[in-house]
Structure 1
Amino acid sequence: MTEADHRAVREVLDGGRLVSDVDGATPVSELEERWARRCGTPHCVATSNGTTALALALSALGVGPGDEVIVPALSFIASGLAPLHQMAVPVFADIDPRTFTLDAASVESLVTPRTAAIMPVHLHGQPADMDALGAIAERHGLAVVEDAAQAHGATWRGRAVGSLGDAAAFSLQVTKNLPTCGEGGLLNLTDARTAERARMMREFGEVIAPGKDRDYVSYLLGWNHKMNGVQAAFTLSQLDRFDEYEAARQRNVAAFLARLADLPGIAVPRATPGSQHVMHIIRLRFDAEAAGVEGVSPGAFRRVLHRLLRTEGVPVSRYQLMTLPEQKVFTDRVGFGRGYPWAAAEPPPHAEHPVARAVIEDSLTLQKRHLHPDAGPALQRYADGFEKVWCHLDVVAHMARASR
């Protein structure tokens, strides 16, 4: 956070354009224009956070009661909740073991006449296979809503994430690669009519346009999902430095992962050929047998590594403790009223999620600390910690066997 960020916020406070629905240009409208231009999409709607951006995307595309939305089994909870907020049913597909994004074959197996949309999540900053998923959507006439909450600046086949489907939701939460000073979101849209609906739904279903007096008439079912001027100004200031920060992150992370890749039994994240991975989260998978530690389960190996790495000052964490379909809100079919939409929906198709479960069982993550452009020295210290633990794999083996 720099003086430029402080100055941008002070200018909004001094100028009085604190909300998004005043007449004329605002920091919010400027952020929308700049982000749409950067991503190569015709429309962008700023929102209060990334979750409301996802829900607004589905609503503006007409997804609602009786519909199903295919979502990856490994993601942040918002990916599964957004369909429920529209009274649609999330259907969980398995993931690819290297990219942690939707597995196209699993998605194809779950399409039914009730499927309305596919939600590829560009998890941790790695774009999903949009070629394969786009082909499935085209074959079945489905909408594609990108969950790009963790993928600002990522690209797929030379195109920016956020321009690869019918809609794309980004989070600006303070821990993201492109943050605001708290919570915020951006929703990219390709169709003008859908974008108009999203703008109306964002602000109580009203038509609020420059040069038009507000009539306080709600034409659609809407919410209050607006972003304020302070949030937008902060993000605009961060956006001025985004490319510089991203280049620094890539250098720092590449140097860190190069050291870890030399250690047996660690699978480090790598960008899919033709894509740009922005490394919002670094997820590392561990293979005890490949490390020379035999007779130890993946979970036991990961638990001991977690303990020892933290002892060495490496701030690894699990991030998720279970797959999305194992979350109680979905296993207990919690909904609205008397359990809607579950109570009114036909039983959704079911898939096993062995890959998602295996990834959670054998992996640890690094979050947030590496996003700072000056985090290179810290990452090198983390690599020191990994190397020290790997010099004592006999101790790791003993502890893991004793923990069974």
Structure 2
Amino acid sequence: MTSPETMSGAEATGRDRDGGRDRRLAAFGGRPAVPKELRNPPWPVITEEDRAAVLGVLDGAALVSDTDGETAVSVLERRWAERTGAAHCVGTSNGTTALQLALAALGVGPGDEVIVPALSFIASGLAPVHQMAVPVFADVDPVTFCMDPAAVEALVTPRTAAIMPVHLHGHPADMDALTAIARRHGLVVVEDAAQAHGASYNGRPVGSLGDAAAFSLQVTKNLPTCGEGGLVTLADDKVAATARMTRQFGEVIEAGKDRDYISYLLGWNHKLSAVQAAFTLSQLERFDAYDAARRANVTALLDRLAALPGLVVPTRVGDVTHAWHILRFRLDPAAAGLDGLRPEAFRAALHRLLRAEGVPVSRYQLMPLPEQKVFTDRVGYGSGYPWTAAEPPPDGAHPVATQVIADSLTLQKRHLNPGAGPALQRYADGFEKVWENLDTVAAIAKSAR
């Protein structure tokens, strides 16, 4: 089977060896632009070093994070704190528990409100509920897809305790504006950096820009483990100590001392496995090389696609480093010369035709967070808690989040492999081929009305 690394130049550009192309749409009998072997480049890339790291833990005695002495977990915590510039790092079982642990350690709880973006993964909204706090949803910026500071400011009430910016898809949120709002109102800031490993804002790594930050190590992330895992970075010594206690049943675990099994405060079993930590440590050795290759591959893809009318490619705003975890493409039928076509219909037709060409585009989130049933039905912990235990939260409109979901498609995971450059070029071939047939796209979109 041909791999991205071994394709010939002709194959990589989507041309036959005689220089010709099949320009017929694959949905109507043409040859797909992307061969099957390039539609799903593997991620994560698992090496013998990764396997050896995992086996090293299995062959040792430090299988859990509370083992006395240095473990894979403590080493990962130290290295990630150093990399992000944070004072502390605490390993957790996954990115969702990382968010909850950060909120808990900062004292966010019943009766509080936490402002989160209306466009994000469900965990961003659930984490406050897990703390019996109420999530309040702010609209997002139409270009960065991160929370809009003006929308956040309008939602602050006397009950607001925290702002949770999500560095969505790997683009840092507008942290200067958001932290200024937090300072004016005495709020804490918890970065949701689940998708933003390696991103930076004004020269500073994400994870060091607020009071705490949560990273996910889930297997699809830019820095993965072999399953699930999470990391919390923290600025304050006492808050970090609280996070370590709440990670393990509220106990105090001290090196060189026997465990007393006394729970001093409410806690959970949110510990990170040493096996997961060892795998991530091994991946971290190659992170910078993979990151550099990914940036080059993504840049080459976006440079080609930016020339297509009506296709709005993701970009960077301000002095930021984008992690390019997910690529979101907005679709503008009017700019494509298809006046009168609904963006949703344009998206649906393109989705069908691009998938037929072998371009693995998909949708990321089918509705804004506040429209998820868990937040509209408000069953929560039963009897409507935490909502019924607090004043009604402010009702923030989210038209931008709604429109972004309606008019966009995404590329997920396939571009993370450092050798995915040839595959991405074939995806560009697929986009260009479909764009050469916009009259057919329009016909399909109109027929779906």
Fold similarity call, TM over 0.5: yes
Q: 2:157 aligns with which of 101, 109, 112?
A: 112
Correspondence 1:23 to 2:41 = no
Residue equivalent to 1:246: 291
Give the aligned length. 404
Q: 1:165 aligns with which of 191, 210, 221?
A: 210
User: Could you say what the CA RMSD is over the residues aligned between the two structures, in angstroms?
Assistant: 0.5
Larger Rg belongs to: 2
- How many angstroms does 1:334 deviate by? 2.1
Structure 1's unaligned 5+ residue stretches are none
Correspondence 1:146 to 2:177 = no
Of all paired residues, the percent bearing the same amino acid is: 74
SS in 2 for 1:107: helix
**What is the CA deviation profile of residues 176-224 of structure 1, one whole-angstrom value per residue up to 9, with x for unaligned ones?**
0000000000000000000000000000000011111100000010000
Correspondence 1:180 to 2:228 = no
Residue equivalent to 2:124: 79
- How many angstroms does 1:76 deviate by? 0.1
TM-score, normalised via structure 2 length: 0.90
Q: 1:323 aligns with which of 345, 353, 368?
A: 368
SS in 2 for 1:262: coil
Residue equivalent to 1:39: 84
In 2, Cα distance between the equivalents of 1:144 and 1:230? 31
- How many angstroms does 1:272 deviate by? 1.4
Kindly indicate whether the alpha-carbon contact (under 8 Å) linking 1:295 and 1:401 is maintained by their aligned counterparts in 2: no
Residue equivalent to 1:364: 409
Correspondence 1:337 to 2:382 = yes
- Between 12-21 and 104-113, report the one with greater CA deviation: 12-21
- Counterpart AA for 1:214: R
- How many angstroms does 1:290 deviate by? 0.1
- Large movers: runs of 4+ above 2 Å: none
- Counterpart AA for 1:221: L
- Counterpart AA for 2:429: D
Correspondence 1:305 to 2:350 = yes
**What is the CA deviation profile of residues 22-65 of structure 1, one whole-angstrom value per residue up to 9, with x for unaligned ones?**
11000000000000000001100000000000000001100000
- How many angstroms does 1:402 deviate by? 1.2
Bigger RCO of structures 1 and 2 (CA < 8 A, at least 6 apart): 2
In 2, Cα distance between the equivalents of 1:149 and 1:276? 15
SS in 2 for 1:295: coil
Correspondence 1:121 to 2:166 = yes
TM-score, normalised via structure 1 length: 0.99
SS in 2 for 1:369: coil
Residue equivalent to 2:256: 211
- Counterpart AA for 2:332: D
Q: 2:395 aligns with which of 350, 362, 367?
A: 350
In 2, Cα distance between the equivalents of 1:77 and 1:15? 37
Structure 2's unaligned 5+ residue stretches are 1-45
- How many angstroms does 1:378 deviate by? 0.6
SS in 1 for 2:362: coil
1:39-78 mapped onto 2 (5 Å cutoff): 39-78=84-123
SS in 1 for 2:136: strand
- Counterpart AA for 1:161: V
- How many angstroms does 1:337 deviate by? 2.8
- Counterpart AA for 2:97: T
Residue equivalent to 1:197: 242
Correspondence 1:99 to 2:147 = no
In 1, Cα distance between the equivalents of 2:384 and 2:332? 41
SS in 2 for 1:382: helix
- How many angstroms does 1:369 deviate by? 0.8
In 1, Cα distance between the equivalents of 2:422 and 2:221? 21
